[in-house]
Amino acid sequence: MDNGDLEGGGGDLAFHGKGGRKYSPVVAHDRAVLEMSSMDPGSSSDSKSCVRKNNAGTLGSLDSDGREGSNPENGGANGPYQEHKLELFGFDSLVSILGLKSMTGEQAPALSSPRDGEDVSITSGQPKPSAVKMGTMMGVFVPCLQSILGIIYYIRFSWIVGMGGIGDALLLVSLCGLCTFLTGISLSAIATNGAMKGGGPYYLIGRALGPEVGVSIGLCFFLGNAVAGALYVLGAVETFLKALPSAGIFTETTTKVNGTVSEPIQSISTHDLQIYGIVVTIILCFIVFGGVKMINRVAPAFLIPVLFSIFCIFIGIFLAKKDDPAPGVTGLSLESFKDNWSSDYKNTNSAGIPDAEGNVHWNFHALVGLFFPAVTGIMAGSNRSASLKDTQRSIPIGTLAATLTTTGLYLVSVLLFGAVATRDKLLTDRLLTATIAWPFPAIIHIGIILSTLGAALQSLTGAPRLLAAISNDDILPVLNYFKVAEGSEPYMATLFTAFICMGCVIIGNLDLITPTVTMFFLLCYSGVNLSCFLLDLLDAPSWRPRWKFHHWSFSLLGASLCIVIMFLISWSFTVVSLALASLIYYYVSIKGKAGDWGDGFKSAYFQLALRSLRSLGANQVHPKNWYPIPLIFCRPWGKLPENVPCHPKLADFANCMKKKGRGMSIFINILDGDYHERAEDAKAACKQLDTYINYKNCEGVAEIVVAPNMSEGFRGVVQTMGLGNLKPNIVVMRYPEIWRRENLKEIPGRFVGIINDCIVANKAVVIVKGLDEWPNEYQRQYGTIDLYWIVRDGGLMLLLSQLLLTKESFESCKIQVFCIAEEDTDAEGLKADVKKFLYDLRMQAEVFVIAIKSWDVQPENGSQPDESKEAFTAAQQRVADYLAEIKETAKKEGTPLMADGKPVIVNEQQVEKFLYTTLKLNSTILRYSRMAAVVLVSLPPPPVSHPAYCYMECMDLLVDNLPRLLMVRGYRRDVVTLFT
């Protein structure tokens, strides 16, 4: 783009603002452009500095030649208009879009996708000389026509008409033509939905269905192209040996007896095909090594003999007379047309000659497999996408035009071949096209050889580039040997392709190779159709193809037709090809590198999630369908190393709350500070936390929230996190065991505040004590899981114990339920009721009823362990000292009692009762569950308006000397049900 072009384009952008002010176009040498082009678009600080520069200075205008000059409108009442021009045009985007950075000599970073840099980079300095671009005719139509019109038409098509009859042949051509036409429509839609890189259909399928599907189908398509090269080579060699039988080294002669007349028939030896085929493949490989320029110069010349030979065939058909030039040629005859209308499937030998004792049986399904390669080649245009002037116009027009042209040619040829010769002639003369061609058969021989060699060159050229494109995406490390730099020739991939091609040539049997090619091509076509079907059905905002003549039903029909044809040809080949693609898919999913291409599956997951969320509505989930959605509070106390995003065992515990890994966990961390200042820190922390989750194989998402302090941040999270019924219903955090040792005086208030926030928000709470000792998936536990069921919690504690049993770590444990009751409670009746309740819940557990004396009874000597009494005495003393301190402070300042910045009410008798009840519960747990694998106990709610310090002392006393404890508080609903 020169200055004149830029100014001309910019003139369209000029407009009048309010008050009639005219805004001038953006031009390359504007000082504002120079300043904006030198800054980093992603840096906010640079943007601010740039704005300060523009506001401080006065920008000059440009004359028609692009020279900077004075501006009479600078200054004045309205001020310089350039400031407003910067705002109105949005320079950050405009500079990149217009490519102005390259004009200023600055190096602009290439816009790239998260994986492979799909967009074209903006180069700096002098532009590189671009390669010659091709239009629709030479870039798409001619390659497609050359690939489609090949060996099958010349040496098999008349034989197909003779074997299947005109009726089945018409059905065959229509079926295969419809398949490729629908695939062409799908290809046109996807190819016009954005820019295309190398790789042809692999690129389209991979970006639509994901890297795993793209690589699996792409490698199969590569194998199909490599095998197709062998098909074309064998076709050329067979034609050459048929034209010059004396060139055969191992020529075979068979005799056909027709009544009393014997007729010698020469059949080509498989060894001749192998020897000549290997030689031709090596020669073609050397040509391919000469580069794509040489191939592009030679390939169009191959099409002229093809078109001329077809013209000679049609002239010969119309000029043919009965029994002239050869027996069996009737000329265009209605009688021959009627005789050849119906099918006449026979057994043949390996060379295709009818033989009652032949080992090859033919039917319509087999003919589909034999003929379908004659309609392949529609991807030849998309394979050249990098060399096209306008891919979004050339690919649809050229591909569909070539498909319709060849399909029409085949339909007309069925009618003409069926009327020009007898069935015996159609079945025995494999080169009938040469026999009837005008003026002499050599034209057809030359046309066939050049056509097949040209198609083989295309295969040996396209297949290596397809393999190189797959390798360059860096999905499979094993393919790194075939990587090539941009603009370089894929020599290693070419050698590998030639090796595969020669291996297929050694097989030597054309009829055994064609079904393999058919399966791989049909697999690719079905992938293209499924890609278009998925994208069209989801109709994401990015789905805006320029090709409008498409519909998801056409793509679905095309994909279904491809699958049906695959099974019609051979169910065994179909199973093998699908199994191969599945193995590659599985291998890529395990060994491949992750690639985010914005594929259609992710869009489908998003749409499905939205529909599921809407179907759930805002109603409460029935207990039968209740799943725990834990909100994992990673660092509530802030005492982990700075580079550790979460406690190492927290994800292990989160996995224990899921049955067979089903369910979602939300890992939350809160950063203190201002959001604008710590936004980048939050992004880095979120990435670090997400890495931790993936490393732990935990199904969950990472969320980082920036808030002024931990309490306000959690209060906002517990209100807003989640959507509809997918909001977290359990808050999980570790117990702050180090708060007194580290003298963290803010912990009690924060701890009580979190519990109260969960109660108000109707969230369940699970607090884990002894998280350092929590087992991982490989550490098997033995013993019991003991539940101390004190208050009704909706069955959450029972459900958590059952979920623990589903993990390998705890599957050898047994559940014990301890019911805490007053002394005057009917213990036996309570035990029977609990057993019946557990039986109805389908839970196996042993039930115990433990009576505890009234709260107002003081500890008796010998009723508690020594360590519990010592802990109780120490807690009493600390609580008394704390209460005396806050009373003294309130008396000195003349204010009400204050704790944690809030007024409190101290009922010392109630505090004493609460502390003593906790002591008795701790003593009971130590007596019965000291050796338990894990203990679950009901979490008592914090007393209203009491100091948080007192509650924290009670919790310390509750968990004292217990290595692994879960404190559980349910919420106002049942999570288990008795009913089926």
Least confident of 26-40, 127-141, 310-324, 658-672: 26-40
Pairwise pLDDT comparison (200 vs 906), residue with the higher score: 906
H or E segment to which residue 858 belongs: none
For residue 65, pLDDT over 60 is answered with no
Of 822, 784, 758, 817, the closest CA to residue 970 belongs to: 758
741 pLDDT more than 80 = no
Q: How far apart are CA 285 and CA 294, in angstroms?
A: 13
What is the number of other CB atoms lying within 10 angstroms of the CB of residue 65?
A: 9
Q: In the block, which residue shows the tokens 């959450």?
A: 796
pTM (two decimals)? 0.65
**Closest by Cα among 328, 331, 360 to 345:** 360
pLDDT at 860: 52
In the chain, pLDDT over 70 holds for what percent of residues? 76
Rounded distance between C-alpha atoms, residue 59 and residue 55, angstroms? 9
What does the alpha-carbon distance between residue 80 and residue 101 come to, in Å, rounded to a whole number?
A: 24
At residue 37, does pLDDT exceed 70? no
User: Of the given ranges (100-109, 818-827, 859-868), which has the lowest mean pLDDT?
Assistant: 100-109
CB 636 within 8 A of CB 710: yes
- Cβ atoms within 10 A of the Cβ of 622, count? 10
Whole-angstrom distance, CA of residue 871 vs CA of residue 877: 10
Identify which has the larger pLDDT, 616 or 687: 687
**What confidence tens digit (pLDDT) does each residue in 931-970 have?**
899 999 988 888 888 888 899 989 998 988 888 999 998 8
> Is the distance from CB of 407 to CB of 400 less than 8 angstroms?
no
The neighbouring-strand residues paired with 665 are 700
Mean pLDDT for 1-23 is 39
> CB–CB of 57/86 below 8 Å?
no
SS3 276: helix
Angle, CA of 272, 276 and 281, to the nearest 5°:
145
> Is residue 356 very low, low, confident or very high in pLDDT (cuts 50, 70, 90)?
confident
pLDDT given for residue 211 in this prediction:
83
Phi, psi (deg, nearest 5) at residue 962 = -105, 115
Closest of 655, 627, 661, 669 to residue 764, by C-alpha: 627
**CA 882 to CA 880: how far, in whole Å?**
5
Q: Yes or no: say if 289 and 276 are a contact pair by the CB < 8 Å rule.
A: no
Query: Residue 268's closest CA among 244, 287, 304, 284?
Result: 244
Position 128 scores a pLDDT of 45
Mean pLDDT of the chain: 77
Segment 236-260 shows an average pLDDT of 69
Residue whose pair of structure tokens reads 């040619």 in the numeric block: 409
Residue with tokens 């109780």: 872
Least confident of 532-536, 702-706, 903-907, 965-969: 903-907
- Matching residue, tokens 């065959």: 172
Confidence of residue 543 (pLDDT cuts 50, 70, 90): confident
- Tell me: the pLDDT tens digits for 145-178? 878 887 788 878 999 999 999 999 999 999 999 9
Type of residue at 630: P
Looking at residues 258-272, what average pLDDT do you find?
63
The Cα 67–Cα 311 span in angstroms is 63
Of 269-273, 282-286, 646-650, minimum mean pLDDT range:
269-273
The yes-or-no verdict on residue 690 having pLDDT over 60 is yes
Give the pLDDT score at 23: 37
Q: Does the structure show a pLDDT above 70 at 778? A: yes
- As a whole number, mean pLDDT of residues 310-318 equals 90
Mean pLDDT (whole number) for 430-442:
84
Provide the sign of the torsion angle of the four alpha carbons 89, 92, 98, 102, taken in this order. Answer: positive
Cis peptide before 636 (omega within 30 of 0): no
What is the structure's pLDDT at 859? 52
Strand order in the sheet with 814-822: 700-707, 665-672, 630-633, 730-734, 764-769, 965-969, 934-938, 784-789, 814-822, 846-852
Confidence band of 133 (pLDDT split at 50, 70, 90):
low
Q: What percent of the chain has pLDDT over 90?
A: 15
Worst-scoring range by mean pLDDT, 302-306, 780-784, 808-812, 862-866? Answer: 862-866
The predicted pLDDT at position 79 comes to: 42
- C-alpha pair distances (Å), 185 with each of 225, 553, 561: 21, 11, 14
**CB 201 within 8 Å of CB 187:** yes
Q: Provide mean pLDDT across the span 15-35.
A: 39
E strand segments, 683-763? 700-707, 730-734
The strand pairing partners of 667, in sequence order, are 632, 702
How confident is the model over 568-598, as pLDDT tens digits? Answer: 888 888 888 888 889 988 888 887 776 666 6
For position 508, what pLDDT does the model report? 67
The model's confidence at residue 855, banded by pLDDT at 50, 70 and 90, is very low
- pLDDT(787) > 60: yes
DSSP structure class, residue 330:
-
User: In this model, does residue 425 exceed pLDDT 80?
Assistant: yes
- What's the CA gap between 205 and 530, in Å, rounded? 9
Residue 618, burial from CB neighbour count under 10 angstroms (0-12, 13-18, 19+)? exposed
According to the model, what pLDDT value does residue 185 have? Answer: 95
- What pLDDT, on a 0 to 100 scale, did the predictor assign at position 271? 82
Question: Is residue 636 scored above 50 in pLDDT?
Answer: yes
CA 901, distance to chain mean position in Å, is: 52
How many CA within 13 A on the CB side of residue 529? 24
pLDDT above 70 for 42: no
Task: Please report the pLDDT score of residue 303 as a whole number.
Answer: 78
Amino acid 934: pLDDT = 92
Handedness of CA 791, 797, 801, 804 (dihedral sign): negative
307 to each of 262, 300, 406, 648, 951, how far by Cα in Å?
A: 37, 11, 12, 71, 94
687 vs 10, which has greater pLDDT?
687
DSSP H or E segment with residue 277: helix 270-289
pLDDT score of 300 more than 90:
no
Highest mean pLDDT: which range of 322-331, 363-372, 602-611: 363-372
Asked whether the predicted pLDDT for residue 120 surpasses 70, the reply is no
Residue 765's pLDDT is what?
92
- Distance in angstroms (rounded) separating the CA atoms of residues 43 and 604: 34
Give dist(CA 445, CA 150) in Å, integer. Answer: 12
Residue of 248 and 405 predicted with greater confidence: 405
pLDDT given for residue 552 in this prediction? 92
Other beta carbons within 10 angstroms of residue 959's beta carbon come to: 21
Task: Please name each of the domains of the chain with its CATH number.
Answer: 136-253+265-591 (1.20.1740.10), 781-856+865-979 (3.40.50)
Give the pLDDT of residue 36: 34
Residue 54: half-sphere exposure toward Cβ, Cα within 13 Å? 22
Could you tell me the two tokens for 727? Answer: 């909001």
| CA proximity to 562, closest of 201, 906, 159 | 201
Weakest-pLDDT range from 316-325, 490-499, 896-905? 316-325
pLDDT over threshold 60, residue 19: no
Beta strand pairing call for 68-69 and 252-258: unpaired
Q: CA neighbours within 13 Å on the CB side: how many for 969?
A: 20
pLDDT the model gives residue 173: 95
